[in-house]
Amino acid sequence: MSFREITNNPRTADYPFLLIQIHLKGDKGEGKMAAFTQIRYDKKKNVMEIENYGTEPVRLNNITVEKK
DSSP string covering the chain, please? --HHHHHT--HHHH---EEEEEEEETTEEEEEEEES--EEEETTTTEEEETTTTTSPEEEEEEEPPP-
Give tens-digit pLDDT for 10-63.
555 666 678 889 999 999 999 998 877 778 889 999 998 887 655 667 899 999
Domain count, the chain: 1
Domain with 39, as residue range(s), is 3-64
- pLDDT of the residue at 51: 75
